[in-house]
Structure 1
Amino acid sequence: MPPTAEAALAALPVVVEEVECRVGAVRLASYPGGGRPTSEVRLGEGRGECVAWTAEAHEEFRARTGAAPRGRWARLGDWSEAMRARFSDPYERAALEAAAIDLALRQAGTNLFELAGVTSRAVRYVVSYGRLRDPMAEAEPGVELKLDVDPAWDGPTYAALRRVAVLDFKGTGSPADHERAHRALPEALIEDALAGPWSASLRTRLGFDAPVTSAGALDALPVRPAAVNLKPARMGGVLEALACAERCARLGIDVYVGGMFEVGVGRRQLRALAALLCPDAPNDVAPLVPPERPPRLPVDGSASGFA
């Protein structure tokens, strides 16, 4: 991972003149209720997506976006600090910061890859599912999977699992449950198995997601994991996600990128971040519509902007 990605982004100048927020919903059969509320904040040409879960939260965000800092800023990092003083919600911070990053990159005529001096690569991804009684019968064929573990799974169900890159315990299960999953799928990441102790073998495949809310949150993890899931929306923005990735690189911890049901520009930005940091990791950034799921996700490394 390029060690200066966060610093290089934070050092970009940015001029913010216009602020707009558009609220809507995207119809998705896979989302509870069939419609995902969403909003897109625009700082001139820069765009970011808010992942708040309710339509009311998006309307409240739209009403507050007028407080976003405007004017000419010598450093994007200073703009972000001023924005954080006015917005406390991590989802709102992440959306505004993503829009400012997109704007600053466009104004500079560059992108993440040129700024960091790396070549964009197509991104490996997984398709994520909640609990399924019979995963191999119910999950989409031909793609790598991230599955929420069902405590009702028996031995034959575990034995039948294929193409599973991540098993997510969501903070549940006993150490015996975690070890059983690891024995069944020794190459898969065992995510958010928060209750130890763990065998030496399982420690080499432990992943953490929900507890990783900042770079500093690494200090509170019960053990140094094999990998952590970086979610900019949960962490309050891309700059904090990059800071965490840089710290993980120093500690020898792998990273993979995950989303929080982004349905618009936020999903494309996650792919760009994955292409920058971890193109070969089990990134939870799959296209939402099955026919659009190629073997890997191409990311344009030549266009200006975030995505």
Structure 2
Amino acid sequence: MKPIQSIKLRKLEMALVAPFTTSFGTFHDKQFYIIETKDEDGNIGYGESVAFSSPWYNEETVKTNEHIIKDFLIPALKQTTLNHPEDVHPLFEKFRRNHMAKAAIEGAIWDLYAKQENIPLATAIGGTASKIDVGVSIGIKNTTDELIDTVRRSVEQGYKRIKIKIKPGWDVDVLTKVRDEFPDIDMMADANSAYTLDHIDTLKQLDDLNLMMIEQPLAHDDIIDHATLQKAIQTPVCLDESIHSLEDTRKAIELGSCQIINIKIGRVGGLTEAKRIHDYCQAHNIDVWCGGMLEAGVGRAHNIALTTLSGFTLPGDTAASSLYWKQDIINPEVTVQDGTITVPNGPGIGFEIDQDALEQFTVEQETISMNN
């Protein structure tokens, strides 16, 4: 690929349409970085950091992403010649974890490469699907009636799968009422690590609700207790926060810790590692789907590209832009028709950047030359 001439870091702040609540916190807006990699021909590749402002989901934050990108990752890129985006992953391996920072840079490089080759990002990574099935993620609500109303709207909009956030005290009774109201929908629960094995009797009750899965019910760094839980319940366990690499995937599958894995580009360090995890799961008959991190348009576009790989057999979290954002930074925004997204066929991520919106939401920016 042609050399990168400069890298721009844009810090954005965008308001959510409505508060989004999980077992670990409530979000009203989101700060994040857009990374722009530019070559000598003026091509620009875009990546998005998905870390939150506080270390709720994992140890990374917006501020630590900036530190790692500026002080370690970009200097490492200056010292090497990239022939292909897959060269980035081994280059960054010497830096422990910080996967979201790595994924933001690597994603921008993948997009730049695809634009240089004049092919869609989906094609560049080996994807083949022209449409992808998508679901929706619904946060914890103030009342069950409010939740049911939200589920009803999502079903009417055609989403192929409804994910409902749960926590102790907001679980079996709530999900039972939703199931009674919607006996035939594909529904799953996401616990975001809110339970322990002491809650096993509660979690066993979920078997009566015909759920697609329960996502990350136990500790964020656990694969041992999840194996115990999966043996005790019929509902498939899906791992999210526990899976950071192909090695984590291999161990979890060998232990019987799960039947499904959620692949998030930011959590695993980029598209290259995400592809490796996808390939391994496909070879071992483990279903995968693409999770979401309240991405804006750039991150959402990367998720769409990843989901075109053939092993993504379950609807992901890449819902329409308008479900989360008052205004997105891509044009056109991501839209959903009958529970599917049509994969864009333009070069790179396939969406144009809305430069006016990008400037409007930018609160800080810095351009770093790669030639000095």
Give the TM interval when normalised to the shorter protein. 0.7 to 0.9
Aligned residue pairs total 292
Q: What's the CA shift string for 1:8-34, capped at 9, x where partnerless?
A: xxxxx3522221111111111335453
Distance (Å, rounded) in 1 between the aligned partners of 2:172 and 2:31 = 36
Cα distance, 1:206 vs. partner? 2.3
What is the CA deviation profile of residues 66-116 of structure 1, one whole-angstrom value per residue up to 9, with x for unaligned ones? 525147422333344334446852111000000111111121222344446
Q: Which moved more, 1:143-152 or 1:209-218?
A: 143-152
- 2:203 maps to 1:215: no
Aligned to 2:189: 167
Q: Secondary structure in 2 aligned to 1:102? A: helix
Q: Which residue of 1 aligns with 2:273?
A: 240
Give the AA of the match of 2:200: P
What does residue 107 of structure 2 align with?
Answer: 98
The TM-score with structure 1 as length reference comes to 0.82
Match of 1:107 in 2: 116
Give the 3-state SS of the residue equivalent to 2:316 in structure 1.
Answer: coil
Q: CA RMSD in A?
A: 2.9
* Cα distance change on mapping 1:84 and 1:73 into 2, 3 Å: same
Distance 1:15 1:63, change over 3 A: closer
Q: How far apart in 1 are the matches of 2:287 and 2:275?
A: 13
Partner of 1:189 in structure 2? Answer: 213
CA distance in 1, matches of 2:138, 2:250: 29
For residue 262 of structure 1, report the CA deviation from its aligned partner.
Answer: 1.2
Compare the two structures and name the one with the higher strand fraction.
2
CA contact (8 A) 1:215 1:243 kept: yes
Letter in 2 for 1:47: Y
**What displacement does 1:179 show?**
2.3
Deviates more, 1:107-116 or 1:62-71: 62-71
Structure-2 separation of matches of 1:226 and 1:285:
21
Q: Residue 102 and residue 87 in structure 1: after superposition, are their counterparts in 2 closer, same or farther (change >3 A)?
A: farther
C-alpha contact (below 8 Å) 1:136/1:160 kept by paired residues: yes
Q: Distance in 2 between matches of 1:59 and 1:201?
A: 42
Identity of aligned residues (%): 21
* In structure 2, distance between residues paired with 1:178 and 1:242: 32
Question: 1:249 corresponds to which residue?
Answer: 282
Paired amino acid for 1:271: I
In structure 1, runs of 5+ residues without a counterpart are 1-12
Q: Quickly say closer, same or farther: Cα 1:155–1:50, change in 2 above 3 A.
A: closer
Q: Which amino acid aligns with 2:341?
A: L
Of residues 162-171 and 36-45 in structure 1, the stretch that sits farther from structure 2 once superposed is: 162-171
Q: What amino acid does structure 2 have at the position aligned with 1:24?
A: L
Shift of 1:159: 4.5
> Is 1:202 matched up with 2:191?
no
2:52 is matched with 53
Letter in 1 for 2:148: M
Asked if 2 retains the 8 angstrom alpha-carbon contact of 1:207 and 1:226, the reply is yes
Q: Which residue of 1 aligns with 2:136?
A: 127
The whole-number CA distance in structure 1 between the counterparts of 2:239 and 2:312 is 18
Query: Which secondary structure does the structure 1 equivalent of 2:342 belong to?
Result: coil
- For residue 297 of structure 1, what is the aligned residue in structure 2? 341
Q: Which of 24, 34, 37 matches 1:43? A: 37
Cα 1:229–1:180 shift into 2, 3 Å: same
Distance 1:30 1:298, change over 3 A: farther
**What's 1:147 paired with?**
164
